[in-house]
Amino acid sequence: MRNSRIFVSCALAAPLVLSACATPGDENRADTYNAAQVNQRQLAHVINILAVMPARVQVSNAQNQRTAQIVGGLLGAGLGAGLGAGVAHSTTAGVLGGLGGGGAGAAAGSLVPGQTLVDGVSITYQDGNQTFSSAQVGRLCEYVPGKAVMIQGSPTETRVQPNHECPPPQKS
């Protein structure tokens, strides 16, 4: 009875913990700022977007990888302890099962890749009399040809702000 409660607890906790996974790439969006960039003066340009093309951007997935390792370790330890104690009817077997299950679960969690591809856009724009291109993390529907604001945090950093709202998702 006790082992089944442990199993049920782990099974119920898994979706809750996994739902806390971060969305990779959100920190790289043009409209996302870190604390050091808030309340800081940054150069802004009004640019003319000429073309918007789909792109894929490789970003860090380290946070989700760490979460998967922790969750895998916890679930593996809980299941290993429950099964070890339940099958062998021994505390020692439960402890060994928990250790083995925790190690196996953490190892399985490390299979989550450290890098992942997210949706992005390649924007070709005019700034003054020059034409440039900049890749941004974002969705194609967030940008359209025409005027947009570009924030320039450094001579090479361009944050082209979305100049269009995506349509709401269709309800089935």
How long a stretch of residues is the chain? 172
Write down the pTM of the prediction.
0.57
pLDDT of residue 169: 85
Q: Which pLDDT tens digit goes with each residue over 114-146?
A: 667 778 999 999 999 999 999 888 999 999 999
Residue 141: inside a domain, yes or no? yes
DSSP 140: G
**Domain of 127, in residue numbers:** 25-30+41-63+116-164
Number of domains composing the chain: 1
Residue 70: inside a domain, yes or no? no
Share above pLDDT 70 across residues of the chain, in percent, rounded to a whole number: 50
Angle subtended at Cα 13 by Cα 9 and Cα 14, rounded to the nearest 5 degrees: 120
The arithmetic mean of pLDDT across residues 14-34, rounded, is: 61
Residue 77: inside a domain, yes or no? no
Q: How confident is the model at residue 8 (pLDDT cuts 50, 70, 90)?
A: very low
φ/ψ (deg, to 5) at 29:
-65, 150
Q: Strand, helix or coil at 70? A: helix
Closest CA relative to residue 80, chosen from 63, 102, 62, 61: 102
